[in-house]
Amino acid sequence: MPVNGEPDLYIAGQWRHASDGGTREVINPADGSVAATVDEATDSDARDAVTAARAAFDDGAWPATSAGERATLLDRIADLLQRDKADLAALETRDTGKTLVESNIDIDDVTSVFRYYAKLVGVEADKVVDVGDPSVISRVVREPIGVCVLIAPWNYPLLQMSWKIAPALGAGCTMVAKPSEVTPLSTIAFVRLLQEAGVPAGVVNLVQGSGAVLGSALTDNPDVDFISFTGGLATGRTIAKVAAEHVTKVAVELGGKNPHIVFADIGTGDDWDSAVDQVLTGVFLHSGQVCSAGTRLIVEESIADDFVADLVERAEKIKMGDGMDPASETGPLVSEQHRAKVEAHVASAISEGAKLLTGGARPSDPALANGSFYLPTIFDGCDRSMAIVREETFGPILTVERFTTEAEAISLGNDTEYGLAAGVRTSDPARGERVVRALRHGTVWLNDFGYYTAAAEWGGFGKSGNGRELGPTGLAEYQELKHIWHNTAPKPAGWFKG
């Protein structure tokens, strides 16, 4: 753990302090206390990290290692993740405020990502192309793309970073990892684990600090071959524009404003309760700080009043508290600054005429006064003219829209500039298939919400970004294709006779 003055920038296989001695306090959002003090990298430190990654790629052995060697390393990392699961989960909770239950699930998911890519790279093979000439061997081979800059968000620090580091290592790339400056603790501990696993010096480098300070060194840099960024739309646009000057490949995942469509045929009893539970979990898990959160409930008019009433009743019973407390069902927002943004979204919704049904305030419990807590919030009477429906709030806010026909439900679900995820709840299989195929979103859940697998691609349509993480495509993002044409029976040149 990066405390007591230990250096926690990792560059060229060495742990070191920031070159100007700068540090940053990491705040525990559950009580406002200082969780740790970490080094705050400078522009010079970030450039050193890119230089180290460049040297390790151009002159080091890692890019030429066999698929089997890379797979073995990924499996070794997965073993260490499970060995250190409890410590890593505690750091994740201290960093983000999420419950320890969620953090433990996250570490298991991180482990699964490394296991998946260990298997995938272990069976990768060249593709032979039949060109119709027996004297020609034509092959398409995959090679590592080069130096990668990996920028992860604060809501799932280690999970989102693993989606990048695992395939990058599996492909044979070198990299510079930059976690959010708000939540760096678990990533620092993880890089120490990578060092223990035997990742060669310079292959993985770590810097943490403000994007405003480090951004140019990491993204406006001709020594970088690929940038993977997960975060906000505005920052993603800036990175794409800057990288375009060097024709640097960029993959960005920029969030979403995700619809959760509930039809009147969902049934009663357990089926009804399951639908209510999935809507609640879809929006209020991790206090809504999830890019794929189902923040837009689009519910059929004939059941809307009853369904929303049950949501409100259940939302008001959600137990808020420190994520380290086993009794807590949800934790705080990540920071005071972020809570202020959420409060501004709520004020805007009220001013635009949305009907506040519950929440919309800080909790009154004195035990939560020092943390960045905000009550689960539900607005009814919403429509697409309201900013609260169009813009990503990244907080515990559910908006309610109503529909009367299937076509209207689909139209509302697609009426967004984003396209990351969506959910559909219906007991009619034919309707379910029609609707999920009609929705323009990268992941669509039918009678479920929020689950994923490392073996299936993740990413969005529209302004939710470009490129994909996870699955075979997630590995392909870190590879270049090379066509090798081998003439086994060279013939005399015949074009020019002179």
Catalytic (active site) residue 291: yes
Point out the catalytic residue in the list 92, 102, 181, 253: 253
Q: Report the run of H or E that residue 45 belongs to, with start and end.
A: helix 43-58
DSSP per-residue codes, 196-231: HHTPPTTTEEE--S-HHHHHHHHHS-TT--EEEEES
Instruction: For 76-179, list the strands marked E by DSSP.
Output: 127-129, 136-144, 147-151, 174-178
In the numeric block, which tokens belong to residue 271? 């089926």
Query: Is residue 382 among the annotated active site residues?
Result: no
The Cα 456–Cα 7 span in angstroms is 37
Nearest to 206 by CA among 229, 225, 181, 182: 181
CA geometry: angle 433, 436, 438, nearest 5 deg:
105
**Spatial CB neighbours of 73, under 8 Å, sequence gap ≥ 6:** 169, 197, 198, 199
Residue of 148, 173, 291, 382 with catalytic role? 291
Contact criterion met (CB below 8 Å) for 213 and 205: no
Residue 339 token pair: 């809570």
Report d(CA 66, CA 38) in Å as an integer: 36
One-letter identity of residue 192: R
Taking the CB of residue 179, how many other CB atoms lie within 10 A of it?
Answer: 28
Q: Which residues are catalytic?
A: 253, 291
